[in-house]
Amino acid sequence: MPPVTEARLIEAETTRQGCLSKMAIVPGEQGEPVRYTLRAGEQRLDLNARLGEPLRLTWTGAIACTHCGRATKKSFAQGHCYPCFKKLAQCDTCIMKPETCHFFAGTCREPEWGERHCFQPHVVYLANSSSLKVGITRGTQVPTRWLDQGAIQALPVLQVDTRQQSGFVEMLFKEEVADRTNWRAMLKGEIEPLDLCAERDRLLARLEGGLANLHERFGAEAIQVLEASPMAFDYPVLEFPRKIVSHNFDKNPVVAGTLLGLKGQYLILDSGVINLRKFTGYEVAVA
């Protein structure tokens, strides 16, 4: 493989290549599947239009940090160099476990970033991606979060004032329902629709005591039940895989095949599947 240098990253300006970002996904028009755009540096590729056609991604051997842009031999936390991984608040463990937020202890890595991103309304939701799951997201990330997970249904249940509060609410829900997606089941497309409103009502009733304790702790207005309707999503898939074979640029720099579908942040090819979000910052040539 070519050595990782700053020059390798600059070459993207004159070739059809660039460093991967997670795919842009937007809901389709009524009755249409969601739309996917591959993003590699400045390159943009309408993936819906490439369904049924050959697609080839070749990793050049270069990786660039998505925050500072420096070349790195290894990616941490989906696209960061090690120094950024260690210093950025967005890479801290409390992002994955919001209930462990340490802002008020005065140890937040970037207090100003924390104020902008963590002290804003968050939504606690139910989704059906591989089965019923609970999750949290900033209000501004609806419905992007659900599309990134490959959910076929989603329902906002509660709105809370801060990310930390969303973590405490999610912990309650996790006593009754999973908080993770089985990505293999999600990609096989064998998921039955659920009555999310009924599941919401069931869970709110079972967790009434725990939610009352959180209301007492944070205030009656901090956690509010939402009057929302379920959303449903259709993904552009010509054929779901019967057996999941996973591509990995670190093991094989060339990923190629006929594009059969798109779901979550995965490309579904006749040769296997690849989670492009995992390889954020990897420089690839697209053909």
pLDDT tens per residue across span 50-71: 999 999 999 999 999 999 999 9
C-alpha to C-alpha distance for 91 and 77, rounded to whole angstroms: 7
Note the pLDDT tens digit of each residue in 88-145.
999 999 999 999 999 999 999 999 999 999 999 999 999 999 999 999 999 999 999 9
Placement of tokens 């064998």 in the chain: 190
* Mean pLDDT of all residues in 188-198: 96
- In the chain, alpha helices (H): 6-10, 82-87, 93-96, 111-117, 144-148, 163-173, 183-188, 196-206, 208-218
Residues in the chain: 287
The answer to whether residues 233 and 32 touch, using CB atoms and an 8 Å cutoff, is: no
Report the mean per-residue pLDDT for the chain.
94
**109 with 92: CB under 8 angstroms?**
yes
- Tens of pLDDT, residue by residue over 164-178, are 999 999 999 999 999
Contact between 242 and 216 under an 8 Å Cβ cutoff? The reply is no
Q: Hey, what amino acid is at 34?
A: V
SS3 for 157-224 is EEEECCHHHHHHHHHHHCCCCECCCCHHHHHHCCCCCCCHHHHHHHHHHHCHHHHHHHHHHHCCCCEE
